[in-house]
Structure 1
Amino acid sequence: MTELGTGLPLTAADRDFRDEVRDWLADNLTGDFAGQSHRGGPDDDDNWELRREWERRLGAGNWLGLSWPVEYGGRGATLSQEILFAMEYAGAGAPPRAAFHGETLMAPTALHYGTPEQKQRLLPPMARGETVWCQGYSEPGAGSDLAAISTKARLEDDTWVVNGQKIWTTFAHHADWIFAIVRTEPGSTRHAGLSYMLIPLDQPGVRVVPIRTMLGDSGFNEVYFDDARTSSDNVLGPTGEGWKAAMTTLGHERATSVLNYQFSFRREMATVTEIARRRGATADPILRDRLIDSIIGLEIMGYNNLRTLGTALRDGEFGPEASIGKYYWSTWHKKFTELAMDILDTDGWLGTEWGDGPDGDAETLRRAFVRARAESIYAGTSEIQRNIISERVLGLPREPRPSGAGR
């Protein structure tokens, strides 16, 4: 039996799991938790306290870290079950996740590179929804060129002392910890001498400055380290070899985390299709053709994701193929939200301070349109994704680099 919308063959255990998810969501998406799917997003901290409370509710239900080993708080779930959960979660209109950076990005890296002691210390609190993590990669001088990182750490006895700056750090003003790429070998350059370091944020040596966006939220932040400290055992993988661990995190960011996007896009698609029918936009042959093209593109996205995830299961890690999915979904969503604005016509831009205007769904779609402009930048720009695909997947010649740029 194949589940509509996943393309996956389902076993009896999968169907039982799906029914358990549905029943739990129906029992728990009540009261203040109901109807909150539009409040906040991957870089928007709207409705934060309720989302944190929901995160703890998910932890109590044992829905966090589904595929993790049971001894670390997970369920040992299969890939099919992870996909089913993402689909049911989005379809039920559950609140946006508050702690996904830890569960979907840092935790897989910890499972791959962490010692047994580190896994036991780091993972169970995340599985209970108790800790919030943020990602410290980009710097003012190291965005797409991530190997240009300049934040440094020196070892003093059994403590790392960190100095530098990170930027575009989502939810840092709410987070307990940051997983950061820092330079730990003096004189090192590019990919060498970097370490994957875990740093507590509630300390005198850390200053977090929110960045207000045009949508009015402050999900992004700058983080300044001024002799910030962390224990010597808060490095994942060998010291000075953090680039591999960093790429593991990026692979998951570009691949597995897209499941939540994919099924959220399905909800957006249903909304736009209903608006198009209600307003008679489907009578316009050009708009109708664009809508059909978007529907087909969303199905292709799902199959691309399955292929990437299947390859990772076979090889044990995400390769450069993960860039295909990231480039595809961010490009698709940009075009789709442009279509949504054209269907809304002038209502796409009317309203007071992003008010609803004549259509109750207009604000949500307007915000999706603006956010989609940034989706082709974060987790690696589209230009970077195209380079990775052409050079590392297709084996084409490398793009010429400026003299002295290195690699």
Structure 2
Amino acid sequence: MSQAPEALRTEVRAWLQNNIPRDWRAAMTGTDQDAFVRAQREWFGKLVKAGYATPHWPEGWPGGGRSLAEQKIIYEEVARADAPRLILFFVALYHAACTLIEWGTDEQKRAHLPGILDGKLWCQGFSEPNAGSDLAAVRTRAELRGDRYVINGQKIWSTLAQHADYCLLLVRTDTAGPPQAGLTYLLLDMRSKGVSVRPIAQITGDDEFSEIFLDDVEVPVSDRVGGEGQGWAVAQSTLASERGLTLVELSHRMRYALNRITGLMRARGVAGDAALRRDLGRLAPKVDAACALADQYLLKRIENTEAPGDASIVKLHYARTLRDFTALGLRIAGLQGQYREPFIRGGGMETGNWPFDFMNSYNWTIAGGSDEIQRNIIAERMLGMPREPKDWRL
């Protein structure tokens, strides 16, 4: 599938104008998880039918086979239109689908890819209480018994796992040798005996993350992705699937949300405040730079010139800029902005609910690899600096 850029942009923009749920922000403000799930499923169904949910999938799937340049146009228009984010389906559409497309057997692809389009939900079981950004420290153990793995352990910070049908599960099958070499990647049916899910109440009032407890859970060997001990390599493919397009969308959402900052200044009667205007003047170029970095990174992927550390630069800059964005909004809002308000489910990272946005912005300095991890990657892999010692006291 190929289309002239401006024709595609015009088509997507018109479709979004006619199909974005009307007043969706108001409908999703202060609502419960059940209403959010229903709204996400309805919006997902529309996007699948139009071919805009899976432009990154191979040709033959609805809307699949588009170039990265065409995908970028779709994501830019979604951001411009302030459409609901597909938070509920993110892991399924990207992490699960892209991992299966690259590593899955034909049987696994037939079993799961059509189900994703039908609305099956996935979560990710990577992080653990003592293995967050350092996946090599995963301890959840899987013991091979005949044709099944028996799993015991705990996962944490799994997005919307309470609604998931399946889980991408990283487990340890070997303790000898380098820690990365002992990891194996499994597909877990969340209805399996021994699986327990507990939502985590957050300071923001949301409960989008969960803990997953695994007690003698059995997973068939046929649900292993890649070979035993290849879990590290498969997991890197999973994490790479969210780079580029996601940050293009989020960066452009932040650019279009700058009008919330200026609108707030006018509403608060502080549009002439010299200090606030100065800080806004400093913020705007940072937002533009976030968009430029994301666009440049995607161009490198299109041209196959991506280098180690490129994605870390984009993520690090976006995370810090988002913090600055929400902090300025909170400051302009003043005392009124300190009041707790119902948050908008399915919104971006800059909804205009400043206390929620500010607290939520810290997620991006941790999730997907903390700022410290990103800096280490940039220093070691791009700048050739000495690796961080295993024991920081050395």
TM, length-normalised to structure 1: 0.86
Matched, 1:199 2:188: yes
Alpha carbons of 1:353 and 1:26: their partners in 2 closer, same or farther (altered >3 Å)? closer
Higher relative contact order (CA 8 A, sep 6+): 2
- Of 352, 356, 372, the match for 2:361: 372
Q: Deviations over 1:2-46 (max 9, x none)?
A: xxxxxxxxx961222222222222232245xx4338948xxx887
Deviation at 1:328, TM superposition (A): 0.8
Contact 1:99 1:129 in 2 (8 A): no
Q: 1:150 aligns with which of 134, 139, 143?
A: 139
Deviation (angstroms), 1:351: 5.3
Deviation at 1:244, TM superposition (A): 1.5
Distance 1:115 1:270 in 2: 47
CA drift of 1:269 comes to 1.4
Matched, 1:245 2:234: yes
Select between 132-141 and 285-294 the one with higher mean Cα deviation.
Answer: 285-294
2:113 aligned with 1:86, yes or no? no
- Residue ranges of structure 1 left out of the alignment (5+ in a row): 1-10, 356-360
1:292 Cα deviation (Å)? 1.9
Superposed, which structure 2 residues align to 1:32-71 within 5 Å? Answer: 34-36=23-25, 39=28, 47-71=36-60
d(CA) in 2 for partners of 1:112 and 1:258?
21
Q: Deviations over 1:278-304 (max 9, x none)?
A: 434332222112212221111111121
Q: Which moved more, 1:91-100 or 1:253-262?
A: 253-262
1:61–1:166 CA distance, 2 compared to 1 (3 A): same
- In the alignment, which residue of structure 1 is the partner of 2:347? none
> Structure 1 CA distance, aligned partners of 2:10 and 2:343?
38
Give 5+ residue unaligned stretches, structure 2.
Answer: 345-349
Q: Which residue does the alignment assign to 1:276?
A: 265
* Alignment-derived partner of residue 7 in structure 1: none
2:30 is the alignment partner of 1:14? no
Q: TM-score, normalised by structure 2?
A: 0.89
Secondary structure of the structure 1 residue equivalent to 2:179: coil
Whether the 8 Å contact between 1:312 and 1:319 is mirrored in structure 2 is no
Shift of the 38–318 alpha-carbon distance from structure 1 to 2, 3 Å rule, reads farther
Alignment partner of 2:14: what SS? helix
Aligned residues: 385
Whether the aligned pair in 1 keeps the contact of 2:128 and 2:154 (CA below 8 Å) is yes
The one-letter code matched in structure 2 to 1:21 is V
Residues 1:28 and 2:19 aligned together: yes
Q: Residue deviations 1:303-356, cap 9 Å, x none?
A: 21122222233338774321111111011100111111111111211356779x
Structure 1 contact 109–248 (Cα < 8 Å) conserved: yes
Secondary structure in 2 matching 1:227: strand
Are the equivalent residues in 2 in contact too, given 1:72–1:123 (CA < 8 A)?
no
Q: Distance in 2 between matches of 1:190 and 1:148?
A: 7
Distance of aligned partners of 1:12 and 1:237 in 2 relative to their CA distance in 1, 3 Å threshold = closer
CA separation in 2, counterparts of 1:329 and 1:190?
A: 31
Q: Which amino acid in 2 is paired with 1:27?
A: N
8 A contact 2:180–2:232 mirrored in 1: yes
**What CA RMSD, in Å, does the superposition of the two structures yield over aligned residues?**
2.8
The separation in 2 between residues aligned to 1:181 and 1:230, in whole angstroms, is 12
Matches within 5 A, 1:331-350: 331-350=320-339
Moved more, 387-396 or 254-263: 254-263
Q: CA deviation at 1:92?
A: 2.1
Identical pairs, percent: 34
Residue 301 of structure 1 is matched in structure 2 by 290
Whole-angstrom CA distance in 2 between matches of 1:297 and 1:38: 32
Show the counterpart of 1:8. Answer: none
Is the Cα contact below 8 Å between 1:205 and 1:226 reproduced in 2?
yes
Cα distance per residue 1:163-221 (max 9 Å; x no partner): 21100111000111111211123545521111121111012221001110112121110
Task: Quickly say closer, same or farther: Cα 1:59–1:95, change in 2 above 3 A.
Answer: same
Q: Distance in 1 between matches of 2:392 and 2:6?
A: 57
